Amino acid sequence: MTRSHLRVNWCSDAEPLLRFGFEQPAPGLCHVACARLAGPVAAESWRVGDDVSDTRSDTLHLRRSGGMAALHVRVDERALGIEAATQSAYRTLLSAVRESREPYILRIWNYFARINAGDGDDERYRRFCVGRARAVDAAFNSPPPAATAIGSDGEPHWLDVIALCSHRAGIALENPRQTPAWQYPRAFGPVSPGFSRAALIGAGNAQRLLVSGTASIVGHVSLHRGDISAQVDETFANLRALLDIASTRSGHVFTLDGCESLRVYVRQRDDLAATQAAVARHMPHRERVLFLRGDICRRELDIELEGVFAP
């Protein structure tokens, strides 16, 4: 089997394993309903091998390439509600993945509308966490994949779960500055969110660090409420801590300079300029930074970012 060699960029030549679009839905695009505010216009391509093969059913699109697989599960939440819809999406995902040649889930993206609607334990994000926890098993949680969960602007009834899987396990990383999400205290919801802070995948120069949604959280506490610039700085402190851990664990050097792609989710469009200015103080490759409109799952936070890093 071809060795997995993931590259993320905005080239549009051959069909990649996964191609994310943030503008209009189009064939061959994994469409995310988070408006593009700034950054690359072309679709974000995740390429592994030269050839791809597709399998489709009503709820699932599975594409394979070079020993990896991308699965996109889309569930209509209208009849079910977000909790049961999430449970259904994750059951579908796990049953498709576990039997396959790419049984290791490395990274997941979750998008649904109105993520902060509802109060206390009824908040939609918390119900999503309950649905996810109900569907997954011990294997999923030991340790869980890297992930993103963002509130999109899409049609309110679609839950999109996108998973990147491999024939080979990754290494899940935690951030020493942050409480593992699965140990968040009860105050943040009836079940703690099941995700790791990053996944280290591949080997040698083909190694990649896939960083989960990362925000201005230290320990389990949200910091710098109302201060975009300080939230960006704290988030980059978290990102640098993860790059350091990845370097220690891999024996390669991971830095911001190795960034292949950075996605920054901004809650308020009006905060774009301030966010861009703050990000520019940290990032060497500004042309690889995509700014998207998205809701962060903690309402007191205004920005979150995720990225892919090469050594």
Select from 20, 111, 112, 195 the one that contacts ligand 3EB (CB under 6 A).
195
Binding mask 110-129 for ligand 3EB (x = CB under 6 A): x-------------------
* Beta-carbon contacts of residue 251 (< 8 Å; ≥ 6 apart): none
The Cα 301–Cα 140 span in angstroms is 28
CB of 111 to ligand 3EB, least distance (A): 11
Can you tell me which of 166, 196, 212, 261 binds ligand 3EB, judged by CB under 6 A?
212
> Which of 148, 250, 275, 276 touches ligand 3EB (CB under 6 A)?
148
How many whole angstroms separate alpha carbon 151 and alpha carbon 297?
Answer: 7
Between 67 and 144, name the residue whose CB sits nearer to ligand 3EB.
144
96 in contact with ligand 3EB (CB under 6 A): no
Q: Interface residues for ligand 3EB in 271-300 (CB under 6 A)?
A: 297
How far is it, in rounded angstroms, from Cα 230 to Cα 302? 11
Pick the catalytic residue from 77, 123, 234, 304: 304
Instruction: Give least dist CB 212 to ligand 3EB, A.
Output: 5
**Least separation in angstroms between CB 94 and ligand 3EB:** 15
User: Which is closer to ligand 3EB, CB of 6 or CB of 149?
Assistant: 149
Cα Rg, the chain, nearest whole Å: 18
Piece in contact with ligand 3EB (CB under 6 A), picked from 55-63, 146-154, 226-234, 254-262: 146-154
Tokens at 203, concatenated = 């080997």
Both tokens of residue 75?
A: 């569930």
Do 290 and 264 touch, CB atoms closer than 8 A? yes
Mask of contacts with ligand 3EB, 157-186, x by CB under 6 A?
A: ------------------------x-----
- CB of 66: closest distance to ligand 3EB in angstroms? 26
Is 23 considered catalytic here?
Answer: no
Please give the Cα distance from 236 to 238 (Å, whole number).
Answer: 5
Number of residues interacting with ligand 3EB: please give it, by CB under 6 A: 12
Spatial separation of the C-alpha atoms in residues 165 and 64, rounded to whole Å:
9
Distance CA 157, CA 160 (A): 10
- The answer to whether the beta carbons of residues 308 and 18 sit under 8 Å apart is no
For 188, phi and psi rounded to 5 degrees?
-90, 5
What is the identity of the amino acid at 203?
A
Inter-residue contact 233 to 188 (CB < 8 Å): no
Q: Shortest Cβ contact with ligand 3EB: which residue? A: 213
DSSP structural state of residue 161: E
Rounded least distance, CB 153 to ligand 3EB, Å: 18
Please confirm whether the linkage preceding 143 is cis (ω < 30° from 0).
yes
> With binding defined as CB under 6 A, does residue 215 bind ligand 3EB?
yes
Catalogue the active-site residues: 304
For ligand 3EB, the binding residues (CB under 6 A) are 110, 147-149, 181, 193, 195, 212-213, 215, 217, 297
